Chains A and B, each alone.
Chain A
Amino acid sequence: MDVIEEQQWEPKILAFCCNWCAYSGADLAGLNRMKYPENIRILRVPCSARVNPQFILRAFQKGADGVLVAGCHPGDCHYATGNYYTRRRFQVMKRLLEYSGIDPRRFQAKWVSGAEADKFRATVTKLCEDVKAIGPSRKLGGSK
């Protein structure tokens, strides 16, 4: 990537959103015509506990500049206990990423309820700003 390309660079951020909370929170953000950066690509999963940490590694290997996992608030999981697994998995995940040399700010796990449209907007906007500040992910030849 040369200097001019880097100036035009727009990060691509993958957001795994659980169907019941974060995905519907994102829908509500749309319903309320809130604005957030175009860099977010939402991938719908039934529950944040469906997100295998390997999906996140795969995204970073393929060139993701940032990854978000968003689910229901702990205690409010549609499937009762799913997001407790998410919470534990992704605490470990953040440290693994750091250990692998991936800036841990590129990865976030957040709780966004179906009513929290503004929290969804704020979360993805912040993640996008953070990733833009860090720059393109160059590990394993990403962000070509």
Chain B
Amino acid sequence: MKRIGVFICHCGSNIAATVDCAKVAEAAQAFPGVSFSSDYKYMCSEPGQEFIKDSIKKYDLNAIVVASCTPRMHEHTFRKTLANGGLNPYMFEMTNLREQCSWVHSDIEKATAKAIDLVRMSVAKVAKNEELFSSTIPMHKKALVIGAGIAGMQAALDIADAGHKVVLVDREPTIGGKMPMLDKTFPTMDCSACISTPKMVEVAQHPNIELMAYSEVVEINGFIGNFDVTIKTKAKYVDHAKCTGCGLCETKCPKKVPNEYDLGMGLRSCIYKPFAQAVPNKPVIDAQNCRKLVEGKCGVCAKVCPTGAIKYDDTESFTTDTFGAIVMATGYDLFKWEDVYGEYGYGKYPDVVTGLHFERMVNASGPTGGKLKRPSDGTTPKTVVFIKCVGSRDSAKGKSYCSRACCMYTAKHAHQFLDKTPDGNAYVFYMDVRTPGKGYDEFYESTLRDGAVYLRGRVSKIYQEGGKLIIKGEDSLIGKQVEVTADMVVLATAMVPSAGSRQLAQTVGFLPDLNGWYQEAHPKLRPVETPTAGVFLAGACQGPKDIPDSVAQAGAAAAKVCGLLSKSQLETNPMTAKTNTAICSGCGTCIPVCPYKAIQLESITERDHHGHRITRNVASVNNGLCQGCGACTVICRPGAIDLQGFKNDQILEEVDSLWM
């Protein structure tokens, strides 16, 4: 016989302002099986939890309902309270009175009536709860980090330093991501490559890190502690075991194509390393452009290679491995402003460039050797206009969100331009200046002192006249139209999730948010976890971030991974499917329905009603593999498979209780 305790939480005024909690507690007293019912200001607080534990003893309770916030927030907390109070943690149900009642309604009477109904449902369900027990599954002590930008590298290093094995995958021929492309980093003006390339080397040399550049994750199966991952390594056409990275092939290759690393502003050969400090520091052949691979002619690189490393018949290869945890660090791309900003010329004016182009131009290793030159004619610009929020905070043409780093890098660009061009003029069109970081506002102030002119307003039109660009906009602080004649325009384009990140999320088994950024499990309390256990987030894949924030988040994700990998086994979720073998007909209909291949037919021997020994097949659920979706329960014809924690009778009791 169940002796149910019901606890109604006020959550301060979050619930109590809209729901009459005392009235709900009083109503619950009359529900079947309820032995004790009360309300309290904060159930999740220590006195609140003590109150539950004391009540369990005092009233001899054996099942508990807490009506408070969403179970996605505190179900785990209260399960522990039950365990500490001497009950099985699964003799518990939670009613969502906050997110799904008090916060979405305003009529106290109606919200209270609804709250009583919701509590009645939970009481009806918990009356059918059974004690459940976890089993254990092994933990593979190896982590996978997807994406080797600054966040991925930092996460990999932190996990590897803690003594765990890490595989770091990146789809580009080199690791490093976007950071080595940048010239300097705000607000300290450190050389970006000087702090990122040593990290790349550290990653490559770390005994615990296995680097898989030019590779992509194509398939992930399994679950926390046991992710089976297939990784595709693209054809490099160079045997990296033989290649010494001497670079002779690159100098002799007769065909030159635009270099992606310099955003098409420079040239590279068809056998190439993206940049001089690339890691691995060995080339790959661009199969789309290589004359030998496309036309069957040439073969110069093979002739000059001193070690015979060129391999024109190379193919992509696949490796599989098992990992305990995964860190997603897939980063960002830049918003394609050319597609929508017709008023800025759809990208047809060569001297209208993005901030990343500007970074390459002022970078000593860039296509112009660090000299700022106009792409159209190579002259040095004297007047540069910077436009912020191109695609950011613009729901009409771009994204509604703020890209966070642009205010600072635009201030940095203006500073760099004025530094290199003492007689230059820098104009910045802005909506707001957002500088909420350590030393950030001071940096912005110093850019103003350098002489940058900040104009608060949007640019409505850019057009070319002679060799100049005419920028028409508004200065909303003086309420007048302004016109600037400039040599070059630099756009601070929005950050968007990197190409292919949505598909990758689906492969891993979780969902991006509406803008395509990876959704964290909880915006405040679980900012680096995903809804999929064992998968963590680092860097800009979760939302626009600058370098310090990406590195900090990578460290947080690494700490979570290390916590996980420090265990030798994991407790499983006991809310899995279970077969009643007495009524299972062994039809096997459930087997193809299961997405985890968790059900198999198993032969059992028993005595029939004549006492004869018979052997028959029944469905057997592997509860290490079962994730508890319950698809099998619906398909099962004899009704032999049921989902523990969400049994048919539990759900039916909930349904029935609404119309009692």
Q: Which residues of A contact B (CB under 8 A)?
A: 10, 12, 14, 19-21, 23-24, 26-31, 33-36, 38, 41-47, 49-53, 55, 58-59, 62-64, 72, 75-76, 78-82, 85, 89, 113-116, 121, 142
Contacts and interface: CB of A to CB of B under 8 A. Distances in A.
A50 B659 contact: no
B652 to A, nearest CB: 6
Interface in B627-641: 627-631, 633-635
* In the complex, the 9 A-B pairs of residues with the closest C-beta atoms, listed nearest first: A30-B99, A50-B630, A79-B629, A30-B103, A49-B631, A62-B659, A38-B110, A80-B595, A47-B629
A72 B512 CA distance: 12
Contact of A27 (B99, B117, B627, B658): B99
Contacts of A59: 655, 658
A55 to B, nearest CB: 6
Interface residues of B, number: 50
Interface stretch (B239-247, B475-483, B503-511): B503-511
A21 to B, nearest CB: 7
B655 A29 contact: no
Contacts of B114: 38, 41
B130 interface: no
B463 interface: no
B513 interface: yes
B117 A41 contact: yes
Interface in B98-124: 98-100, 103-107, 110-111, 113-114, 117-118, 121
Contacts of B96: 27, 42, 44
20 contacts: A12-B658, A19-B72, A23-B70, A30-B70, A38-B107, A44-B71, A44-B96, A50-B631, A52-B634, A53-B634, A55-B652, A58-B655, A59-B658, A62-B656, A81-B631, A85-B593, A114-B519, A115-B513, A121-B104, A142-B659
Nearest to A75: B506
B631 A78 contact: no
B100 A27 contact: yes
Interface stretch (B46-54, B339-347, B643-651): B643-651
B629 A58 contact: no
Nearest to A113: B511
A108 B628 CA distance: 24
Contacts of A85: 593, 631, 634-635
A81 B511 contact: no
Q: Which of A23, A36, A72 has the most CB of B within 10 A?
A: A23
Q: Which of A27, A36, A55, A58 has the most CB of B within 10 A?
A: A27
